[in-house]
Amino acid sequence: MGLLGKFIYSFMIVINSMMDTWNLNTVVYFATLPMGMLGGDVVIFGSCFAYISDISSIQQRTLRITILDVIYLSTMPTGVALGSYIYTNVVNKSYTIMFIINATLLFLAILYSLIKLKWQTLPQQQVLMGTNLLTDFFDKKHIIATIKTMIKTRPNHGKLHLLFLLIIMMLYVFQRDEKPMSFLYTQLKFKWDVNTYSNFKTFQSSTFVLVKAEITSYRRTFTNNNIFEK
């Protein structure tokens, strides 16, 4: 669902960029809102971690999730640097072509997920065959199940860890919306262009990866069972 939301967003940005008579508000209605309803990045990353936890043993889980985290964080500096090069030297600073490339890659990711990934990783998961996806998406029982999961008593302060994770994800959403404002601020105050800002983001993301790797490798006081226990 998250990949579909991101694809709709990129596709509608392409359409909006080619429609001179459309105002900027149409991005909110036809791109941002659909992506928000389908989850976007938060759902993608959450699903990746949940998928790995489902198909991995307790002994393998920490290593696999750490590898996923390192790969995900490594794409930030490399993606920004590669995107800056393509934007400046390949597509002649065309936002439309950049989002076409983005939408194409997302479409390929959706196809790969449909073909290769397992739809049911645990026996107790609900089978979607014959289920109305629209009504199931808005079914209140999912909200109730999520609340029960959050308030369930767990050993070693597991419930508190889940609460902290929920708060962190909420703050993560806010900081993502801060990035466009940071770009506008650097343009206004420092007169930075796209290339300069991209170089800054590459350096910032690389530093973040190194710091995150150090924090991740530090000995923590809670285990996999605290968070992933059913």
Provide the pLDDT for residue 227.
Answer: 44
| Average per-residue pLDDT for the chain | 81
Residue 14's pLDDT band (cuts 50, 70, 90): very high
- 138 phi and psi, to 5 degrees? -100, 15
- Coil, strand or helix: which one is 148? helix
Residue 36's pLDDT band (cuts 50, 70, 90): confident
pLDDT digit string, tens, across residues 137-153: 778 888 898 888 888 88
- 191 phi and psi, to 5 degrees? 60, 35
Provide the pLDDT for residue 116.
Answer: 87
Provide the pLDDT for residue 97.
Answer: 95
Which residues, at least 6 apart from 191, have a Cβ–Cβ distance to it below 8 Å?
none
Q: Which of 13-27, 47-61, 89-103 is the least confident region?
A: 47-61
Torsional class of 174: left (φ above 0), alpha (ψ -120 to 50), beta (otherwise):
alpha
Residue 182, pLDDT above cutoff 90:
no
Both tokens assigned to 189: 């105050």
Q: Where are the domains of the chain?
A: 1-130
Residue 193's pLDDT band (cuts 50, 70, 90): confident
Both tokens assigned to 24: 């900027």
Q: Which of 5-19, 95-109, 112-126 is the least confident region?
A: 112-126
Percentage of the chain beyond pLDDT 90 is 20
Residue 40 in contact with residue 77, Cβ under 8 Å? no
Provide the pLDDT for residue 130.
Answer: 64
**Residue in the structure block whose two tokens are 């002994």:** 59
Q: In angstroms, rounded to a whole number, what is the distance separating the alpha carbons of residues 191 and 71?
A: 33
Both tokens assigned to 50: 């949940």
Residue 123's pLDDT band (cuts 50, 70, 90): low
**Which of 54, 36, 32, 39 is closest to 1 using CA atoms?**
39
State pTM to two decimals: 0.72
Residue type present at position 1? M
pLDDT digit string, tens, across residues 205-224: 778 777 766 665 554 444 44
What is the signed CA dihedral for 219, 52, 34, 145, rounded to 10 degrees? -90
Q: In angstroms, rounded to a whole number, what is the distance separating the alpha carbons of residues 207 and 199?
A: 12
Q: Which of 21-30, 66-75, 79-88, 125-134 is the least confident region?
A: 125-134
Provide the pLDDT for residue 212.
Answer: 66
* Count of beta carbons in the 10 Å neighbourhood of residue 128: 11
Percentage of the chain beyond pLDDT 70 is 83
pLDDT digit string, tens, across residues 58-76: 888 888 888 888 787 778 7
Q: In angstroms, rounded to a whole number, what is the distance separating the alpha carbons of residues 100 and 7?
A: 10
Provide the pLDDT for residue 221.
Answer: 47
